Chains A and B, each alone.
Chain A
């Protein structure tokens, strides 16, 4: 049982995308809806910020400075013990733009928790983020109960 019961901090969302407009507009929308937002403009910075900020949800683009950058960043996240269980929503137009790359994003081979195609429906994305935050909260509570027992 915690000694003091303070206000619950807002959930943190890390947006990894090289498109400044997209990051800013999505970031403003998420902040308006009570979420804390951090931003990274490439995969490496994304992984570094994920380690530093430990976000609840990561919104990851795929085609950034390199067209497979998000795929490599996602794998780094999945292979880092501290980040392995962080929810990652891939938001990308990869499958609309990439000729000859016909592997379905619906298969979780990339390691994503969810795939949402660009152009993105902000309401749907917000619902997804909230669902992942809520699921993570439940997982943390179960873990804490286990540790207390």
Chain B
């Protein structure tokens, strides 16, 4: 892997050069929170942020998208709404890149989704290191460092960003920037290691996940699921903000008075009461307890069986978004019996 360094004072020039590769989007502040949005001036970018409201999945799986239109007489027309839009996403945290890597496995792996694949090919990712806050537990989920999934990754080492080049496109961006990048020195490497160690020590949350699938297996009938079911509002906020929740619903929207229409897919949540409702009125997960249990089992156990790792990345968004303060770290600790009132 090629490693260079970029002076911080040249970052705005670098961002300008990046515009050759697509629209530059970055975290910007809106009403006290952060969102990924298109920049129309560099000073809007906020590179020291905790987390965005929505993760980068919104660029790959839009909350609502038309898959195709159908019209009597002309037949089907595939939708290409914004599919060719090239975007450079600047300032993505390692946990969010880890989340994209998980989505890649689901949507660009064994059963590739053409819409996702096209958007993914058109998305350039420039990662940036971060400082964990009170809701971050990505280190527990092994998502505090990524070795792939980015085109470039920037690590703050003082006056410079140590820059890991992850792909050929990343290398093209470095080459297009001519003299902006400089070679790395011994002092830069030592500074990187010092800051990396400091970050490791900064995590306030820690949860052991090694034998978690087995504990989930044993605690399938634990009281905690009923207790959580009583608290959960089934609002789906946790799913919406989750970088790896990818459930969607597909509906045909038929125009009034005709048989023409469009097929649309939009975000769904396993916490919604209609999620497991099937024709005939049968609902496989009618109670809220069964739905929240399903969400935890899918993320922490089912995904491990399928892909060898949990699909939770420890970003803390669900903790922040939950209106009734259901805290995934507390739930996992209770399941492990690490805190009082643990299990049945």
Q: Chain A: residues with CB nearer than 8 A to chain B?
A: 43-44, 47, 65-69, 71-73, 75-76, 79, 98, 100-103, 109-111
Contacts and interface: CB of A to CB of B under 8 A. Distances in A.
A111 B327 CA distance: 48
Nearest to B23: A79
15 contacts: A44-B40, A66-B43, A67-B12, A68-B15, A68-B42, A71-B19, A72-B19, A72-B24, A72-B39, A72-B42, A75-B23, A79-B23, A100-B10, A101-B180, A109-B17
Contacts of B307: none
Interface string B1-38: 00000010010110111011001100000000000000
Q: Which of B7, B40, B180 has the most CB of A within 10 A?
A: B40
- How many residues of B sit at the interface, in one of the four size bands? 20 to 34
Interface of B: 7, 10, 12-13, 15-17, 19-20, 23-24, 39-43, 176-180
B40 A73 contact: yes
A75 B13 contact: no
B12 A68 contact: yes
A68 B16 contact: yes
A109 B10 contact: no
Given A68-B16, A102-B179, A44 B10 contact: no
A143 to B, nearest CB: 23
A29 B20 CA distance: 34
A66 B12 contact: yes
A76 B12 CA distance: 16
A67 B176 CA distance: 19
A9 B7 CA distance: 49
Contacts of B177: 103
B41 A66 contact: yes
A58 to B, nearest CB: 15
Contacts of B17: 103, 109
Nearest to A62: B16
A97 to B, nearest CB: 12
A43 B16 CA distance: 14
Nearest to A79: B23
Contacts of A43: 40-41
A65 B43 CA distance: 10
Nearest to B9: A100
Given A68-B12, A72-B16, A75-B19, A44 B41 contact: yes
A69 B13 CA distance: 10
A132 to B, nearest CB: 22
A75 B42 CA distance: 12
Contacts of B23: 75, 79
Q: Which of A43, A67, A73, A101 has the most CB of B within 10 A?
A: A101
A67 B41 CA distance: 10
Given A66-B41, A66-B42, A68-B12, 19 more contacts: A43-B40, A43-B41, A44-B41, A65-B41, A66-B43, A68-B13, A68-B15, A68-B42, A69-B41, A72-B19, A72-B39, A75-B19, A76-B40, A98-B13, A100-B7, A100-B180, A103-B176, A109-B20, A111-B19
B176 A109 contact: yes
A76 B15 CA distance: 14
Contacts of A66: 12, 41-43
Contacts of A68: 12-13, 15-16, 41-42
Contacts of A44: 40-41
A109 to B, nearest CB: 5
Given A44-B40, A44-B41, A66-B43, A71 B180 contact: no
Contact of A100 (B12, B43, B179): B179
A126 B19 CA distance: 29
